[in-house]
Amino acid sequence: MKIEVEENLPQMDTKLDFYSASRLTGDATSEDLETIKRHTSVYVYETPVRLWHWINALAILTLCVTGYLIGSPPPTMEIGEAAEQFVFGYIRFAHFAAAMVMTVGFFGRIYWSFVGNHHSKQMFRLPIFNRHWWSEVFFELRWYAFLEKEPKKYVGHNPLAQIAMFFFMTVGLSFMIVTGFTLYAEGLGSDHWLSTLTAPVMNLVGNSQVMHSLHHLGMWAIVVFVIIHIYAAIREDVMSRQSMVSTMISGHRTFKDDRPE
Amino acid sequence: MSHIETFYDVMRRQGITRRSFMKYCTLTASALGLGPAFVPKIAHAMETKPRTPVIWINGLECTCCSESFIRGAHPLAKDVVLSMISLDYQHVLMAAAGHAAEAALEESIEKYKGNYILAVEGNPPLNEDGMFCISAGKPFVEKLRHVAKDAKAVISWGACASYGCVQAAAPNPTQATPVHKVITDKPIIKVPGCPPIAEVMTSVITYMLTFDRLPELDRQGRPAMFYGQRIHDKCYRRAHFDAGQFVEAWDDDNARKGYCLYKMGCKGPTTYNACSTIGFNEGVSFPIQSGHGCIGCSEDGFWDQGSFYDRVTNLAQFGVERNADQIGMAAAGAVGGGVAIHAAVSALKAAQNKAQANRPADAQKEEV
C-alpha cells in the first residue's frame, strides 16, 4: 500500500505518515488516498444534457404553477381599471413563454440524442427486446421493495429510471406539447397554420373542454413524476453505490466502491 | 323549374320595396363577411334564381331551432326568408297535416329530385330499430334516409343534428346519432347551437342559394364565418379576463360590475360560435351579456362536460365525480405519502444493515 503512494508522490518522504497524506487531501486517511488515486468517475451527462435538464426543470416548475393558476385563477385583483392591469394576462404569458422554452429545449434534447454520447440516447429508447435489461428492471424493483441488500452500479440511468424517463418525459412531454399547442392554436384563430397542424388532434378529442381536462391531468402526471424523481435521486445519492445529484451538475458519475459488479 | 318564382318576385309580391330589398342584400353581404362588390351579385342572384326548395324534417328534438329560425331578426326575416326559400315541408310551419303533409313531402322529393336542400332538425335514435322516434308511422331514421337520398346537400340544424345534444348525452339510451353518422354520401353542413343563432341559420341558407355552393366549412364541418372563433375571443368582458377580474360568486359585487365569468364555469373559452358578435333576438343579448356564463351549447358533447358552473370539469370516469385537480392532488398526495414511507423504511433498513455489519464477526457466524 505504501509503495503505491510513494510512486505517485515521489517528492514525498518514503516514510509516509497520516499527516503527510492529510496535507494533500484534508482529513483523508491512507485508505481514502488509495481510493482517490483510481479513476473512479465516468463522464455521463454532457453539457447540453445538463443544461437541458435544469432549463427543463425550471420551465416545468413555471408551467405547473401558472397552469394550475390558469385552471383556478387567483382572487380578483382590483389594482385599477381593466385596461390598466394585466394580471391574468401575465400568468398566461408566463405559461406560454415557458412552454415555448420547454418545447425548443425538448427538440434540442431530441437532436442531442442523435449527436451526443451513448447515454444521451437512453431517455428515448427502451431496449425491450433485451432479456438482460429486463432482468435488471426486476432487480431494481426488488431493490426498491427492500428485497435486495445491495444495489447494482449504473453509469447512466438504471433500467427502472429509464422506464420512468421514457414514459413521463419522452411520452409525457410530447403529450403536453401536443395538447398544449392544440389549445394555444385556438387562441391564434382557426386560419392560423398551427390550427391547421393541430386540427387532427382537436378532431380526435372533439371538444376543447376535454382537451383542457387532458392537459390538466397531464400536468398532475408530471407532478407525480417530479416527486418520485427528486425522491429517487436523493435516495440513490445516499444509498446507492454512485453519485446522483452532483452528476447532473458536473456531468461526472463517481463511484463509492471499486467492485465491478 | 321556370314555374317557380324568383326570390325577388316573392319579395315584391309581399310588398317589399326595391330599396328594402337592396338593404337586405347589403346586410346579408356584410353578415357573410363579403365586400360591397358582392351586393349586386346577391341582388342579381335573388332576382334571377328560382327559389331553393328546402325540405325541413324533424327528428328527436325540441323545436328550439325552428323557434330560433322564425325569430330571425335579420331584416325581412319573417316575410322574406320563409318565402325566398321554398319551404315545402316543415312540421312547425306548414298548414297541411297528416296524410296531406306526407303526400306533399313525396311530391316535393319527386319534383325537385337532386336539387333540394334537406334541413334536419334533431337526430335519429338508432336503438330498437329506431322505434324511439316515429314520424308518420315510421321510424324517423327511415324517413331521414329516404329524403336524404335525393338531396343536394344536408343542413344539420342545431346541436342535435350536428352532435347529438341532450338525447345523446351519456348513457344515450336511445342511441341518438348525429346526422353525419347516418348520412355519409352527401355534403353536410353543421350549424350547431342550442338553438343556433337565427341570423346564422338564415345567412347559411342565403349563402347557399346565392353562390349555389356550401359556405367555407371549418374542420368540423361548420361554416367558418360563424364558427371560426371562440366566444371568448370576441367577448366584451375579455378585458376583465386578461386583467384577472372575475365574478367570484353569483350576484356578488363583481357580477354587478360585469367582470369575467371564467370562474363561474363560463365555457366561452372552449366554444366556437358567433354569440358575442351577433347575439340573439335582434342582437339584444346573449348569455354572457345577461350575466350567465356560456354553457358551450354549440360544442360536441356539451352535456357530458360536467356542471355548467365548473371551470375545471368533473370527470365521471372515476366513479365519484372529481375534477382533474382533485384527482391529480390525490395522486400526488398518495405518491408523496408513499415516498415518505419508502424513505422511512429505507432509513430503517440502512440502519439495520449498518448494525449488522458492525457486529463482531463471531456474532454474525453464530447467527448463521
Mean pLDDT, chain A, integer: 86
- Which of A250, A21, A191, A172 minimizes the C-alpha distance to B227? A191
pLDDT bin (cut points 50, 70, 90) of residue B263 is very high
Domains of chain A as residue ranges with CATH: 1-38 (no CATH), 39-254 (1.20.950.20)
> Which residue of B lies nearest to A198 if distances are taken between CA atoms?
B219
Rounded CA gap, B319 and A60, in Å?
Answer: 30
Architecture of the CATH domain B231-311: Irregular (4.10)
**pLDDT digit string (tens) for A102-154?**
999 999 999 999 999 988 988 998 988 988 899 999 999 999 888 888 888 88
**Mutation to test the B interface, candidates A92, A209, A236, most B Cβ within 10 Å:** A209
- Report CA-CA distances (Å) from A113 to A46, A116, B46, B114: 11, 5, 64, 59
Q: Which amino acid type is present at position B175?
A: Q
Supply the pTM of this predicted model.
0.80
Closest partner CB to B345 (pick from A72, A146, A227): A146
For residue A100, the model assigns a pLDDT of 97
For residue B21, the model assigns a pLDDT of 86
Mean pLDDT, chain B, integer: 85
Asked: is B7-227 a CATH 3.30.420.40 domain? The reply is: no
- Report CA-CA distances (Å) from B30 to B33, B39, B41, B72, B265: 5, 9, 13, 16, 33
Q: Is the dihedral of CA B352, B353, B355, B356 positive or negative?
A: positive
Q: Are B51 and B6 in contact, with CB atoms under 8 Å apart? A: yes
**pLDDT digit string (tens) for B194-238?**
999 988 888 888 788 777 788 999 888 999 889 988 999 999 999
Rounded CA gap, B267 and B257, in Å?
Answer: 20
Q: Are B273 and B231 in contact, with CB atoms under 8 Å apart? A: yes
- Residue B80 clears pLDDT 80, i.e. is over it: no
What is the CA angle B361-B364-B367, rounded to 5? 155
What is the CA angle B266-B272-B278, rounded to 5? 90
Strands (E), chain B: 53-58, 86-90, 117-121, 134-135, 138-139, 153-157, 188-191, 314-315, 322-323
Q: Are A231 and A73 in contact, with CB atoms under 8 Å apart? A: no
Q: Are B303 and B169 in contact, with CB atoms under 8 Å apart? A: yes
pLDDT bin (cut points 50, 70, 90) of residue A25 is low
Q: Is the dihedral of CA A205, B128, B317, B122 positive or negative?
A: positive
pLDDT bin (cut points 50, 70, 90) of residue B81 is low
Q: CB A216 to CB B312 under 8 A?
A: yes
pLDDT bin (cut points 50, 70, 90) of residue B83 is low
- In A, residues 75-134, which contact B (CB 8 Å cutoff)? 75-78, 82-89, 91-92
For chain B, the structural domain boundaries read 7-227, 231-311, 323-367
Rounded CA gap, B33 and A254, in Å?
Answer: 68
SS3 A260: coil
Closest partner CB to A72 (pick from B254, B311, B346): B311
